[in-house]
A and B are shown apart, each in its own frame.
Chain A
């Protein structure tokens, strides 16, 4: 049976518009989902807790923003740290950071581009002095401090920060923790 061949020459050009649409959507997703939140420079792997309160800004309009004290690991080559899962007892690997300034675990300043050269105690005295609003007791400051300590940091360092806070009269201390949300529950419940 003779078959009639149709000589069809189609112009095959892919329609790129759906692909562009999808790429735009992907781009939007990644742009909006990117964590551009400021962590005040230091990367801290917070310990996980299930019973944490939602970190809402509870400060009054007149109050100053709280001071974030980061206790962080500062040696990328350390093999004991293990991404926050290990135990690194090497004291020189740990730093205390506020607003880009660093202190060692004794509270002595670590020179960097942001340093004021003050020891940790003196720096926090300056912060505490900004909110000594109780005229009956000027040793106490209403300044709030959030301690964001790495999960693997040693308790002694956090204890030292708390001690310095107590020494300078800061009593409103909050501890940062990563929320482990159990299915069906909301943080802060």
Chain B
């Protein structure tokens, strides 16, 4: 394609200036509108068929649980996380504690204890996803969302 040659060899010279103009315009358009495609994934979170709005009332509720409570401190806009009553500072600490609790439950033969995410409605979604991600990362697949409190 890129070949030179004398003008004498090419009796019909092509004026490439308009072509270059148009290509420049196209390049500028695509450069300005360019953004890299974000790689998207998904987290399956299938809702239970027999609980929640269609469920029957639980007659004998199980109080053994791993409940991650998340609230928003409106003064500082900080997220306060607790595992049960214990305050959690870091993601690593949360993951370690969840794994330890899960291990303790499994030693007692309780393999089906879920992690319950009990977040305030004002907590940003990314924080909830972060906790879900920590659970998934530590192979804690059974995650539940606490049902909203009436009036919240």
Contacts and interface: CB of A to CB of B under 8 A. Distances in A.
Partners in one complex: yes
B19 A20 contact: yes
A170 B49 CA distance: 9
Interface residues of B, number: 55
Interface residues of A, number: 66
Contacts of A20: 16, 19-20, 23
Contacts, number: 173
B35 interface: yes
Given A33-B34, A173-B46, A155 B123 contact: yes
Interface in A120-165: 137, 139-140, 146, 149-160, 162-163, 165
Question: Counting chain A CB atoms within 10 Å of each CB, which of B20, B24, B54 scores highest?
Answer: B54
Nearest to A56: B42
Contact of A16 (B16, B36, B123, B152): B16
B111 to A, nearest CB: 21
B145 A172 contact: no
Interface in B1-38: 1-4, 16, 19-20, 23-24, 26-27, 30-31, 33-38
Question: Counting chain B CB atoms within 10 Å of each CB, which of A55, A89, A177, A178 scores highest?
Answer: A177
A165 B133 contact: no
A64 interface: no
Interface of B: 1-4, 16, 19-20, 23-24, 26-27, 30-31, 33-49, 52-54, 70, 72, 77, 119-130, 132-133, 136-137, 145, 148, 152
Q: What 10 A-B pairs have minimum CB-CB distances, sorted nearest first?
A: A156-B121, A52-B41, A30-B30, A51-B136, A47-B126, A151-B126, A47-B129, A35-B37, A49-B133, A179-B41
